[in-house]
């Protein structure tokens, strides 16, 4: 193959780092969800890349399960954002005070 395994893994590392930056810095709840999506996608990219180069079909199967579970997670996350928006009229996570321990 033209591309080596390490290229895909480096792209996945970059995506992971950008996602962590998004979660750490952004205060907008929807933008934090963007960061979570990027991290999940970098994990999926790793799974499929290793499954191509080993080669084995189990990595792809696990990636399919992971994509489906991520869809469920995003649905619940967006519902939580809508509920919090309705309570606080804002999506800034610094305003979600009553969730503080």
Partner 1 sequence: MVDSVFLALSVLTIGSAIVALEIRSLIYGSIALMLTLSGVAGFFLLLDAPFVAMFQLSVYVGSIAVLILFTVMLVRRELIFNKVEDKRRRYAGIVLMVVLMLGIGTIIIGSGLKTMDTNSSAVDYKKIGEDFLTYYSPALIVMALILASSIIGAMTLARREDVIDGQRAD
Q: Tell which phi-psi region holds residue 89, choosing left (phi > 0), alpha (psi between -120 and 50) or beta.
A: left
Burial class (CB in 10 A: 0-12, 13-18, 19+), 44: buried
The rounded distance, in Å, linking the Cα atoms of 75 and 59 is 25
Q: What's the closest the beta carbon of residue 101 comes to partner 1, in angstroms?
A: 21
Binding flag, residue 16, partner 1 (CB under 8 A): yes
Q: What's the closest the beta carbon of residue 11 comes to partner 1, in angstroms?
A: 5
Residues between 42 and 81 with contacts to partner 1, criterion CB under 8 A: 44-45, 48-49, 51-57, 60-61, 63-65, 67-76, 78-81
Binding flag, residue 10, partner 1 (CB under 8 A): yes
Binding flag, residue 87, partner 1 (CB under 8 A): no
């Amino acid at each position: 193959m033209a591309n080596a395994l390490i290229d895909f893994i480096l792209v996945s590392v970059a995506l992971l780092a950008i996602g962590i930056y998004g979660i750490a810095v952004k205060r907008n709840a929807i933008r934090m969800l963007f960061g979570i999506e990027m991290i999940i996608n970098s994990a999926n990219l790793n799974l499929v890349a290793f499954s191509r180069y080993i080669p084995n079909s189990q990595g792809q199967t696990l990636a399919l399960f992971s994509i489906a579970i991520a869809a469920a997670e995003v649905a619940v996350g967006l519902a939580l954002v809508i509920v919090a928006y309705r309570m606080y009229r804002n999506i800034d996570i610094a305003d979600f005070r009553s969730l503080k321990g």
